[in-house]
Amino acid sequence: MSRFLSNESAALEPYTPGEQPQNIPYNKLNTNESPFPPSPKVLKAISRAELLKMNLYSDPTCAALCAAVAKRNDLKPEQVIAGNGSDELLSFAFRAFCGEGKGCAYANITYGFYKVWAQFYHLDAKVIPLREDFSLNVDDYMDFPGTIFIANPNAPTGMTVPISDIQRLLEANRDRVVVVDEAYVDFGAESCIPLLYRYDNLLILQTFSKSRNLAGARIGFALGSAELIADLNRVKYSFNPYNVNRLSIVAGAAAMADEPYFQKCTSQIEKNRAWTVRELTALGFTVLPSQANFILAKSDRIPGGALYEKLKENGILVRHFDAPARIADFCRISIGSMEQMEALIDEVTKLLEEL
């Protein structure tokens, strides 16, 4: 770092994204991307006419995109805000609903960006351990007066919190915001969207990166009461009004409108996940019960770090976390196409036979 970097910035612990090596064509199962291309409607929507408009600013309200999201979820457009990925909207939420005298709470094993944003905004953060079985118990959050962030399904475990428990949390204190990060909800989990009709202290985040096959477009959205969304827009217009580019707005609206393709892709991922879990379990792995497009798995025969290294040497990328220690023996494996998952199982089988 340079001598000009502020002390505050030097103290930050940046989020570490999944590696994206380009030296060989890896079987990439490390960043929870979709193995499927975007909807054909997306490819049709990004026309030459749209490309010729790139000299113009995008719509700061993202009206077409928000309308498509609202229609699909039976909400009003003013209950939707779009962002440059859900990470940006997380940042807006940390800024809007946390601050002096109002801290944040999140699990000790969860999406790494929660810690990053809490530190970035100098917030008092309460980090609450998951239970021994890696489940999140909302009773551990009941007395916390600040803003609560829950990934549901959780990352990197893939495990879920029942909606009835989220409702208890919302009901217990109507004067605090509960942010439910549903980045992975479309692979078999139950969304909290129905609760929006009853609770104005609920904010839901979702993304186009996973189930809509648009990770490269960087599109996320948040759902909530019109008042909560207005709060996020206040932060947005103080930071980056044109936060979603023209092509992403068009692509997102088209993807949201193609329900059959969405159902086809997510259903296939669920089938591939079930097959992979069965195969790994037969090989002696412990696999946490996931409702996401990834699984967290470990073998008693080979440490997680060693498994990651061996697979990488053989052209397969998975994700390994050195910390926290409780998951150091696990690897997070994205669910790809059947061809990708069969290649993974074949390689894991070979590695175990060589031990």
Sign of CA dihedral 201, 85, 263, 336: negative
pLDDT over 90 at 204, yes or no: yes
- Cα(276)–Cα(339) distance, integer angstroms: 11
pLDDT digits (tens, 9 = 90+) for 126-149: 999 999 999 999 999 999 999 999
pTM for the model stands at 0.96
pLDDT digits (tens, 9 = 90+) for 273-329: 999 999 999 999 999 999 999 999 999 999 999 999 999 999 999 999 988 889 999
Per the prediction, the chain carries an average pLDDT of 96
For residue 141, is it left (φ>0), alpha (ψ between -120 and 50) or beta? alpha
Q: What is the pLDDT of residue 46?
A: 94
Q: What is the pLDDT of residue 32?
A: 97
Domains in the chain, ordered, with CATH?
7-37+260-354 (3.90.1150.10), 40-258 (3.40.640.10)
pLDDT digits (tens, 9 = 90+) for 31-67: 999 999 999 999 999 998 899 999 999 999 999 999 9
Cα 88 from chain centroid? 12
Nearest to 149 by CA among 122, 172, 191, 182: 182
Question: What is the chain's length?
Answer: 355
pLDDT over 90 at 336, yes or no: yes
pLDDT digits (tens, 9 = 90+) for 58-107: 999 999 999 999 999 999 999 999 999 999 999 999 999 999 999 999 99
Q: Confidence band (pLDDT; 50, 70, 90) for 168?
A: very high
Q: What mean pLDDT do residues 186-202 have?
A: 98
Percent of the chain past pLDDT 70, that is, above it, reads: 100
Q: Which helix (H) or strand (E) holds 6?
A: none
Q: What mean pLDDT do residues 137-164 have?
A: 98
Q: What is the pLDDT of residue 22?
A: 82
- Cα(223)–Cα(299) distance, integer angstroms: 39
- Cα(2)–Cα(111) distance, integer angstroms: 29
Sign of CA dihedral 13, 147, 181, 318: positive
Q: What is the pLDDT of residue 1?
A: 84
pLDDT digits (tens, 9 = 90+) for 16-26: 888 888 887 89
